[in-house]
Amino acid sequence: MELTKNPNVLKWLEEMTALVKPAKTVWIDGSAEQLKALRDEAIATGEMEELNQEKLPGCLLHRTRPSDVARVEGRTFICSRRKEDAGPTNNWEDPKVMYEKLGKLYDGVMKDRTMYVIPYSMGPIGSEFSKVGVELTDSIYVVLNMDIMTRMGKDAFKQLGDESNDFVRGLHSKANIDENERYICHFPEDNTIWSINSAYGGNVLLGKKCFALRIASYQGKNEGWMAEHMLILGIENPKGEVKYICAAFPSACGKTNLAMLIPPEIYKKKGYKVWTVGDDIAWLRQGPDGRLWAINPENGFFGVAPGTNAKSNFNALESTRKNTIFTNVAHNLDDNTVWWEGLDKNPPKHAVDWKGNPWDGTASTEKGAHPNSRFTAPAINCPCISPEFNNPNGVPISAIVFGGRRAKTAPLVYQARDWQHGVFVGSIMASETTAAASGAVGVVRRDPMAMLPFCGYHMGDYFGHWLEMGKKLGDKAPKIFNVNWFRTDDEGHFIWPGFGDNMRVLMWILDRCEGKADAVETPIGYEPKPEDINLEGLDLSLDTLKGLLDVDKPLWKEDVKGIREFYGKFGDRLPKELADELNKLDKNLD
Ligand code: GTP
Ligand code: SPV
Ligand code: MN
């Protein structure tokens, strides 16, 4: 039965139906009975496996093809009408050409399949921040994941209304999961996403990276707000006051971990608490008070499994103990549970690995779980979920933090001198690549604001939009910082303990925002006085900390060359302010 009378939805649905020619169409209303029936069907066909319902109630396991385990940046396109609007950092194709090419792949692709019509809202129903999408898909895995990750079902159509045309049109088909014909295409000017031949995460859960970042970043530029690859967390002091921080780190660089951190004993005993608002995406706009406010448009966590354990991220692990979907982890056959590298020191002896092969946890060098294996967990499962999680107005942001994986160069923390300098600091971010996208791992690349794979338009214009937002916010703008948890010693070990202890750095950041801490001026920005980072209870000397804060001028000089080369790509779309900041940095280093 149709769930909306909205003629824009119905007309588009009619066109798409004529294209993919499904055997059957099912509207997803989001009801418990419907979801139960879909789970049962996926279990019956073997698409998903039901896990131990005592230990992991409501949990399912899914394996994707070994050639379909991560985002595919090389096959992700921004199809704006003009090539220059996609910019030098995106793959581009003419929308007409791409629609025609994919039209052939979609033609009749669902003739033996059911097409699910998924209405969903990114952001709480009723919030001014929120936006509606409709995803058409032939995958039950997608439906069940979208249920966790978004506000899915008939309320989303209420949010849209009977007339509005402001919804994102998403079309997904697994087709044959043929990697040579895999395409993740965005048509920002048409509010449209077409994804084909993948069944994995960020390629197919179209509300996430495709809509909430690529399409939304373009909408944000036009409408005066921002869509960013950022976690949102709140730190509550012993007086009960909560301050909020957004942080942008590239994929698999620690957002989920930071968002759910457990304070070190020294803060815990004083009564500090940490609250998670979001772990991956933030939508930010100026509030009536002139400050920058943020919501998390998602409703769950699509988190990296390996490395997650009771010590590194207790809250994430807890979040996965019920109603969670596990993708590409190892299956422990002894008790029908899941396992991944870094969960504990006891890999199961009698297991199936992420490829579906028998695995005994010891003999082979093969991993049990894929490095980019994931859990999809409802946000409400998280023990430290913020009471403001569903607040339609979002939360006010005090600080914006950028960061990446840098073995050298970037110090533990530094502060930008002002908003413009902060935009520069974000724009020059670099990080070692991770397993979250297909391709080589550990290669340093420029990843401005952690948005390189997610910016839906010309990155030079994106920098310009950041500068514009700063002008609007004026002296109410959040302060901007850069962190690096990943500096290594000569043996390649991480020097900074990281995880919960990152709170020590966040505390200096908040003190700076409130004018309570001093700083030292360096060529790259303000750094803490080493004694202002609280090391109590840590096995780390003040000298080691000084080393972590060291600015190695020859290395930075090298970096300036790299930045100049990167900036060169943007031609005259690079804001002059950023070119000026680069020259200033170059001079400061002499
Ligand atoms: P996406 O979901 O891909 O956007 O990733 P994310 O940014 O949320 O990364 P996540 O928190 O899942 O962390 C990815 C990896 O980084 C995991 O293997 C963590 O164990 C590791 N990690 C996270 N925080 C730290 C840290 O402070 N120090 C060190 N050394 N490793 C960390
Ligand atoms: C990321 O890669 O940044 C993720 C996972 O959060 S995915 O949804 O696949 O993009
Ligand atoms: Mn991410």
pLDDT digits (tens, 9 = 90+) for 378-421: 999 999 999 999 999 999 999 999 999 999 999 999 999 999 99
Amino acid at 565: E
Q: Where do runs of H (alpha helix) occur along 176-234?
A: 201-204, 216-223
d(CA 71, ligand 2 centre) in Å:
7
**Ligand 3 ion: Cβ-proximal residues, 5 Å cutoff:** 251, 280
Q: Is 497 in the pocket of ligand 1 (CB under 6 A)?
A: no
DSSP letters spanning 357-386: -EE-SSS-SS-SS-TT-EEEEEGGG-TTB-
Note the pLDDT tens digit of each residue in 379-389.
999 999 999 99
Note the pLDDT tens digit of each residue in 445-504.
999 999 999 999 999 999 999 999 999 999 999 999 999 999 999 999 999 999 999 999
C-alpha torsion sign, points 381, 382, 386, 388:
negative
The per-residue pLDDT for 1 is: 77
How far is 331 from 356, CA to CA, in rounded Å? 9
Average pLDDT over residues 507-530: 97
pLDDT averaged over the chain?
Answer: 97
Average pLDDT over residues 323-328: 98
**How far is the CA of 395 from the CAs of 277, 282, 285, 293, 466, in angstroms?**
9, 11, 10, 5, 19
Closest C-alpha residue for ligand 2 atom 3: 251
How far is 474 from 187, CA to CA, in rounded Å? 33
Average pLDDT over residues 561-573: 97
Q: If you ran DSSP here, which 8-state letter would residue 478 be given?
A: P
CB 133 within 8 A of CB 168: yes
pLDDT at 365 over 90: no
Q: How many CB atoms neighbour CB 475 within 10 A?
A: 6
Give the percent of the chain with pLDDT over 90.
Answer: 99
How far is 302 from 409, CA to CA, in rounded Å? 30
**Predicted confidence band of residue 363 (pLDDT cuts 50, 70, 90):** low
Q: Which ligand is nearest to the CA of 203?
A: 2
Average pLDDT over residues 269-285: 98
The per-residue pLDDT for 199 is: 97
Q: Is 411 in the pocket of ligand 1 (CB under 6 A)?
A: no
Axis crossing angle, helix 576-588 with helix 553-568, rounded to the nearest 10: 160
Neighbouring residues of 132: CB distance < 8 A, sequence distance ≥ 6? 119, 120, 121, 122, 156, 157, 159, 160, 164, 166, 167, 168
Average pLDDT over residues 362-370: 83
CB-neighbour burial class of residue 367 (10 A; exposed 0-12, middle 13-18, buried 19+): middle
Average pLDDT over residues 526-549: 97
CB 156 within 8 A of CB 122: no
Per-residue b or e along 396-430, where b marks 16 or more CB atoms closer than 10 Å to that residue's CB: bbbbbbbbbbbeebbbbbbbbbebbbbbbbbbbbb
CB 231 within 8 A of CB 258: yes
Note the pLDDT tens digit of each residue in 154-210.
999 999 999 999 999 999 999 999 999 999 999 999 999 999 999 999 999 999 999
Q: Is 68 in the pocket of ligand 2 (CB under 6 A)?
A: no
How far is 434 from 437, CA to CA, in rounded Å? 7
How far is 232 from 75, CA to CA, in rounded Å? 29
pLDDT at 573 over 80: yes
The strands making up 337-339's β-sheet, listed across from edge to edge, are 337-339, 330-332, 351-352, 358-359
Confidence (pTM): 0.98
Q: Which ligand is nearest to the CA of 202?
A: 2
d(CA 436, ligand 2 centre) in Å:
6
Closest C-alpha residue for ligand 1 atom 24: 254
Note the pLDDT tens digit of each residue in 4-42.
999 999 999 999 999 999 999 999 999 999 999 999 999
Report the alpha-carbon angle 69-73-76, nearest 5.
110
Please name which of 577, 387, 543 lies closest in space to residue 463, comparing C-alpha atoms: 577
Q: Is 145 in the pocket of ligand 2 (CB under 6 A)?
A: no
pLDDT at 115 over 90: yes
d(CA 575, ligand 1 centre) in Å:
32
**Predicted confidence band of residue 589 (pLDDT cuts 50, 70, 90):** very high
Average pLDDT over residues 67-86: 98
